[in-house]
Amino acid sequence: MITKSKYKMCRRLGVGLYEKCQTPKFVASEAKRKKSDKKPKQLSEFGTQMLEKQRVRFSYGISEKQLSNYVEEATTTKGVVATDKLFELLETRLDNVVYRLGFAHTRALARQMVAHGHIMVNGKKIKVASHHISAKDVITVRDGSKSSPLFTDIAGKLKSYTWPAWLSFNVEKLEATVTGAPKNTEGFLNFNTVLEYYSR
């Protein structure tokens, strides 16, 4: 059940923020509410940057310090576009990869799966949600966890699921291979604005 605070966050930061705020019912109710509301106050440049920074934070479920560290790494890595690098750093967190694979319907549940030792990377159990995966890494469900209710009929549930282009997935083995780097094609989050916030 979604909490009142999450509803408030979705209304303030955007309906795409949390998975349960992306339902047609919620989107329709928000559109109706906005029509009846007064014209919103125009945000300043700083306010817009702050809002986008918060969208990124709450979307990926990370702390201010973690995001700040990712931004620093993205802006100091030579030979890459900073916005692309920031997106890559966020997407290649193990909890996000588990979410992108369809094992969990929310990133929060994906983090729980990792913390409880259900996920393995290259044959090694990893319990750190922020662990970064790299090209050619193999992500699997631990053999002892396959009988867990978390993975009951997971193969059936994933039959119509579409995985990101940078992940190759074997449904029968519950095994994924990282085949490339993530590309930001969704457009919900503006990473350039986030970088502008931290460059003040």
How much is the pLDDT for 9? 63
Q: Are 167 and 100 in contact (CB under 8 A)?
A: yes
How much is the pLDDT for 172? 84
d(Cα 157, Cα 155) in Å, to the nearest integer? 5
Query: What pTM does this model have?
Result: 0.81
Query: Which of 19, 41, 109, 66 shows the shortest CA–CA distance to 6?
Result: 19
Q: What is the pLDDT of residues 129-144, one digit of tens each?
A: 999 999 999 999 999 9
Which amino acid does the sequence have at 148?
S
Domain residue limits, the chain = 4-35+43-79+188-198, 93-178
Which amino acid does the sequence have at 192?
N
> How far, rounded to the nearest angstrom, does the alpha carbon of residue 179 sit from its chain's CA centroid?
18
d(Cα 183, Cα 77) in Å, to the nearest integer? 17
Tokens of 63: 């702390």
- CATH number for the segment(s) 93-178: 3.10.290.10
Q: What is the pLDDT of residues 4-17, one digit of tens each?
A: 466 566 665 665 56
Q: Class for domain 4-35+43-79+188-198, per CATH?
A: mainly alpha
